Each structure stands twice: as structure tokens, then as C-alpha cells.
């Protein structure tokens, strides 16, 4: 099996569908995190930026406002196609997109001053190999800055789902490297710092932030709930239930979301995120 083959198959198949169909809603939901990431990266003029796991391109398209050039890379062709379609809409010419596996792609050495990533570095089969490859692409003293999820318990926007599913079935441990690539693979800041150092990076800093997220980027209660039910992790948890259990769990989740809904603002719940940086 090729490195990251399962991830490639998933993100070029079923995992990409919800993201492509709801790209703008994902951007609005994650906007507080994207803003914090770009601010933390401190991208200066005349800098070359590499955005890993760029998805539909929201952070890639934010960076060129100050950077000399930006390359967005993702393993998912459907997501990159959305990013390419978006680029002309913001009149940016110093940005490119590439479908590639950042763990193995032959980037030019010392080509980028900054590597950024919003939830794109948790899916590598071999994180040290991936971080080593990114380090080689950085200029000496260049920085990598990325956002990754804290554990399931730190993300209140998933709490209604976990609570409802737990009434009927055991909720699996989805976190940590021992469970393989996935949303919470880099939830442990100390463990992730060790991976970065093993890849030859230094000056590792880990910051915890707790932004409030609008589930589905706002909208009506039904729109927010339906968006949540379409997310991959939520579909996976609900798939552990039989039809009757799933119906009861869905009703319980909607009832909980209603408690956090405000007309005009949507459903707002907290999130737990790590902003991690290091130098080459």
C-alpha cells in the first residue's frame, strides 16, 4: 500500500462530498480559527508560503494578501478544484494549487519561508516523514505554523453528538497517534512537539485556544443540525447505532442544539484547538 493511500481514497471520494457541497459554510464555521492561524503565522511581504491540506483554499487565498507567493497543496482533487475556481473571484494572481501528498511530494528545497496548515497535518501515516519533508522545503529559519484539534472532550460543538451516541453505544477513542491518522491524531501538544523535533524542527511552541464556532456557519436551527449530521465524524459515530437508536439520538442532538441557538446567530458552541509552531 502506498503512503496515505487510505486518506487519498477517502478524500478523493466520500469524505470530500460534504466539504465540496458546503465549502462556504465550513469557511464561516472555522473563520475564528483561520484568522488566528494567519495572525500567528505573521506572514510578511516578500515571503513564500506553503499551505498544506489547503482544502477549498480559504487559508491559501488569505495568505497572498501579504505574501509574495502562496502554494496550496492537498491530497484531494475535488477540494483543490473548488480552490482553483475560487482564486479568480478574489483577483489574486500570486497563488497556485497542487494536488499532491505532502508527505512524499518532492518540494524544492529551501523554497518556502512559512508553512501553514489548518487541520491538514493530522492525516499522515508517518508524521515524522511528513514533517521532515516539510522541513526540507523551508528556508533556514523558516517557520511552520498549524492548527490541530484538541481532544474530543475539549470540543463542545461535538458534545451533543457524543452524549447522544453514548446512550446506546460505546464511543470509540478517536484520539492520539496510536489510533492512526485522523481528526484528533495530534491532540497531544507534547507528543506533537516530539514529532516535530524528531523531524529536525526546533523552537516548538504550543498554544491552546478556545474559539466559539457557529455550527454550519450560522443559519436556521435545521440548517445547522443538518450540516452537523453531514460531517464525517458525526456520520461515523451515528453509524454505530441501529435505525431506532439513530432516530432517538438524532432527536436528542437537535434538542441540545436548540438550547444553543439564537435567531440570526445560529448555533454557537465552543471548540478546543492547538496552534503549534516550530522553526527549521
For all residues of the chain together, what is the average pLDDT?
94
pLDDT above 80 (res 7):
yes
Tell me the per-residue pLDDT of 205-233, one tens digit each, with 9 for 90 and over: 999 999 999 999 999 999 999 999 999 99
C-alpha grid cell for residue 12? 478523493
User: Could you tell me which of 155, 165, 153, 158 has the C-alpha nearest to residue 250?
Assistant: 165
User: Which range has the top average pLDDT, 67-71, 108-112, 150-154?
Assistant: 108-112
C-alpha grid cell for residue 202?
526546533
Which of the four pLDDT bands, split at 50, 70 and 90, describes residue 192? very high
The owner of cell 529551501 is 110
Please identify which residue in the block is written with the cell numbers 522545503.
137
- Output the pLDDT for position 66: 74
Instruction: Measure the CA–CA gap between 61 and 70, rounded to whole angstroms.
Output: 8
Lowest mean pLDDT among 33-42, 76-85, 87-96, 158-167: 87-96
The pLDDT, as a whole number, for residue 1 is: 64
> Which domains does the chain carry?
5-153+173-214+268-279 (3.40.50.150)
Residue 92 scores a pLDDT above 80 = no
Sheet containing 266-270, strands listed edge to edge, beginning at the edge strand earlier in sequence: 212-214, 266-270, 261-262
Q: Is the pLDDT of residue 65 over 80?
A: no
Per the confidence metrics, is the pTM higher than 0.85? yes
Amino acid at each position: 500500500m502506498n503512503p496515505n493511500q487510505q486518506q487519498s481514497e477517502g478524500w478523493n471520494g466520500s469524505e470530500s462530498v460534504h466539504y465540496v457541497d458546503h465549502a462556504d459554510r465550513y469557511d464561516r464555521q472555522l473563520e475564528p480559527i483561520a484568522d488566528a492561524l494567519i495572525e500567528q503565522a505573521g506572514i510578511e511581504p516578500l515571503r513564500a508560503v506553503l499551505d498544506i491540506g489547503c482544502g477549498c483554499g480559504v487559508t491559501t487565498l488569505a495568505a497572498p494578501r501579504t505574501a509574495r507567493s502562496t502554494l496550496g497543496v492537498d491530497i484531494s482533487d475535488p477540494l483543490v478544484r473548488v480552490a482553483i475556481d475560487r482564486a479568480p473571484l478574489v483577483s489574486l494572481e500570486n497563488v497556485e494549487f497542487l494536488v499532491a501528498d505532502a508527505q512524499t511530494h518532492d518540494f524544492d528545497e529551501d523554497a518556502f519561508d512559512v508553512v501553514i496548515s489548518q487541520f491538514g497535518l493530522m492525516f499522515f501515516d508517518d508524521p515524522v516523514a511528513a514533517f521532515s519533508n516539510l522541513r526540507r522545503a523551508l528556508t533556514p529559519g523558516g517557520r511552520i505554523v498549524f492548527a490541530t484539534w484538541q481532544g474530543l472532550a475539549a470540543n463542545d460543538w461535538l458534545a451533543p453528538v457524543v452524549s447522544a451516541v453514548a446512550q446506546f453505544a460505546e464511543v470509540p477513542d478517536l484520539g492520539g497517534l496510536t489510533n492512526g491518522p485522523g481528526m484528533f491524531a495530534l491532540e497531544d501538544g507534547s507528543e506533537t512537539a516530539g514529532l516535530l523535533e524528531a523531524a529536525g524542527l526546533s523552537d516548538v511552541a504550543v498554544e491552546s485556544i478556545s474559539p466559539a464556532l457557529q455550527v454550519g456557519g450560522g443559519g436556521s436551527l435545521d440548517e445547522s443540525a443538518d450540516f452537523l449530521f453531514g460531517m464525517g465524524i458525526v456520520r461515523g459515530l451515528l453509524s454505530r447505532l441501529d435505525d431506532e437508536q439513530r432516530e432517538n439520538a438524532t432527536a436528542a442532538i437537535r434538542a441540545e442544539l436548540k438550547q444553543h441557538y439564537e435567531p440570526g446567530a445560529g448555533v454557537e458552541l465552543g471548540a478546543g484547538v492547538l496552534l503549534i509552531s516550530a522553526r527549521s
